[in-house]
Structure 1
């Protein structure tokens, strides 16, 4: 198997989580052979890299072929437990552990990188999960170097904490006595939409580069930056919060208003963390309403179908958008979907409170004056 091992050609924008082996990787010894209940001492340089990655918004998890009791011992150590999300320690194949980690985190398995000292384990993952990059421990400095010099947004710095909040949210959802819709309503979900301000642009570029499941066109950050700064284009962002806390900026949309009577959306992108909660639909429907209020008669979205963005494609179809003969800006494989803005437009789910940034500011001003 070639093309996945090592850091050559490494694209850090695709990496959301690094999965670490334990024995011979995170520490030198074999934990299950320890004569006591104490864990081997982790390598300080590995912990430093894990912390440096977390500061850049990259999650860490564990996949070790060992006795499950090792995980119990590890989670009893706060400084280790807090570094790893969705850890897997069992005798199952590493490829299966990685699938479970991706599922638990709600990300594509291709967004994982495995660091493992065993050539056999790396080969097993490469064979069964060919989209996953695998590295040996000696590749770790180059892994970290690949992220150097990249802009770090506030959402990136808070990503690990927000995934931990998501673990709490998911656990409560599993125990909730009621329907999924009732749980979402109980969460008191709030979506705030508006034109992007300058300090939100880096996050919009990050969403363009790092989202795949809820990304309409795969427009590159460089192209997005250029279009957003050009005449006739507007960039919008979406923030989300619920009773557990703030998600931060979870969505970005670029609107092209250069054609009279038409609003075109070259990019609609949302974080996979909000998949299944109605945020993508609410953002799209709000853009349609805003377009109609501005006098537009037609609404268009550029779509580049991929294996990952089926959910976005279904949403666009449910919103009444149909393919035209036009070719989109994102490349030869993209198309434009369009619909009229006459008649009834779809509404966001009723469990999601949607407001504009302007109305939120006005409400806050009135509260301050009261």
Structure 2
């Protein structure tokens, strides 16, 4: 059974996996009876913050039947049913959900389909239906945050945002203003620690250094570091806690070993707004310099560009606290990165939990 670490979405085959039989062969135009154990597994995964999708090589009319079935439509996101290869479907599902394709796990009864995905998408894990109980056992006992339990609903809300954006007559910035985006940022309270640790562990695209859950927890418990979080809302609903930063505040310099945000808010100004807020807090506390640890990866190119635009540069030696990291820094005197014009930010006092 492949590891469940880092899995954000389990993608299910239909024929022979989610149900017995072949849907397209039914004369009545219906669907085979869905296996109760598979539906129960989907619900258990959702309770752990793991999404479920569908990838089936079948006639497109099967997709219409799936979306009309309330049990299936309520449980599965980004369904793909066509005669194309499963690897193509998984790429499309990852793009629609805004997650890395390597965070998907395919459950499929066909060894051929699993092999095709493993060959063309080497980072994607696969499993047979009989492996599902072991997958659920691997998730048992892991801490689950409110954001994780609500993740499927958050993605459905995101789909509503996407559809509204497609219908909107104005430009991108006008749409973002219309959304009424608001951010609150402040010191993390104890109840927010699990979500902050989850962001450190699960985010890759908008993660500066890749510190894991245990590293962050140890640094917070030792003292000398502070944890800050950011939350966003808009006219569609509450995004929840979407950002976290681990900060080592000093009298002359604020150092940030970890800056991480949910990939769901990419392109909405949240990254630069949270970074600007942290810089303002550092400057208000009397610091002259703002420094940030960066472990460059292929996944965090977008974040590295943001840091450069914010004036963060590597020093003469370029060295960071670990061999694979560099330390970027900038003065806090002069202009800071501009606030996104469409995003209202409520800066809380530095000692107030957000």
Structure 1 length-normalised TM? 0.93
Contact 2:318 2:327 in 1 (8 A): yes
* 1:304 alignment partner in structure 2: 295
Q: Which runs of 5+ in 1 are unaligned?
A: 1-5, 362-370
Distance 1:194 1:170 in 2: 29
- The one of 189, 210, 235 aligned to 2:227: 235
Query: 1:29 offset after TM fit, Å?
Result: 0.6
The CA deviation string for residues 257-281 of structure 1, in whole angstroms up to 9 with x for no partner, is 24x3000000000000101101011
1:301 is paired with a residue whose SS is: strand
Q: Which runs of 5+ in 2 are unaligned?
A: none
Q: Would you say 1:342 and 2:333 are equivalent positions?
A: yes
Distance 2:221 2:334 in 1: 33
- The one of 346, 350, 354 aligned to 2:345: 354
* 1:38 alignment partner in structure 2: 30
RMSD between superposed Cα atoms in Å: 1.2
Contact 1:18 1:112 in 2 (8 A): yes
Contact 1:266 1:328 in 2 (8 A): no
Query: 1:220 offset after TM fit, Å?
Result: 1.1
* 2:96 alignment partner in structure 1: 104
* 2:206 alignment partner in structure 1: 214
Query: 1:229 offset after TM fit, Å?
Result: 2.3
1:178 is paired with a residue whose SS is: coil
The CA deviation string for residues 13-45 of structure 1, in whole angstroms up to 9 with x for no partner, is x11100000000000110011111110011100
1:339 is paired with a residue whose SS is: strand
* 1:289 alignment partner in structure 2: 280
* 2:77 alignment partner in structure 1: 85
Alignment: residue pair count: 350
1:100 is paired with a residue whose SS is: helix
Query: 1:184 offset after TM fit, Å?
Result: 0.6
Contact 2:108 2:127 in 1 (8 A): yes
* 2:140 alignment partner in structure 1: 148
Runs of 4+ in 1 over 4 A off after TM superposition: none
Contact 2:182 2:343 in 1 (8 A): yes
The CA deviation string for residues 161-180 of structure 1, in whole angstroms up to 9 with x for no partner, is 01000011101111110111
